[in-house]
Amino acid sequence: MKPHDLQATADNASMNARGPSPYTHDPIFYVTVSLLEAVHAGAVGFTRTVDKLVCARDAEEAERVATSYFASRQCKVDKASARPSVRQDVRTFIAHQIVNLPAGIVSAEFDRQGTPAEYRHEPVYIDPSARPAK
């Protein structure tokens, strides 16, 4: 898929019952990451497969960012596989959990939801040009 095709996918998928998304951003990718060692993932329990939502220009960038995200948390990544998320409307996600979603969008979503200041989280940003540690 070419980058402009991904943007068209993001634009089309951002339509829902709420109308078009008011935000402009790179496509959101659903990245499945295989780890070399099991981690405890909340209610899932111990697993070697975890998922992350990443806002990126293309699948390769999303895979690099997800790999760096988990490596920064002392996880050893075997491989990552990204595909465009079926949903692209940020309003249908917990915005601060999407890696590299622009801070202005995360803040606007907190405002829209009326989130008190003490419950607001800083958005996670991973430099997409950085090579993940092996």
Q: What ranges do the domains of the chain cover?
A: 3-14+24-119
The 10s digit of each residue's pLDDT in 26-56 is 999 999 999 999 999 888 899 999 999 999 9
Cα dist from 34 to 29, 46, 79, 127, whole Å: 16, 13, 5, 21
Closest CA to 109 of 128, 125, 89: 89
Distance CA 113, CA 20 (A): 17
The 10s digit of each residue's pLDDT in 52-72 is 999 999 999 999 999 999 999
Phi, psi at 54, each rounded to 5°: -135, 135
Contact 99, 61 (CB under 8 A): no
- Residue 86 tokens, joined: 């079926």
Per-residue pLDDT, averaged over 73-101, amounts to: 94
Confidence of residue 133 (pLDDT cuts 50, 70, 90): low
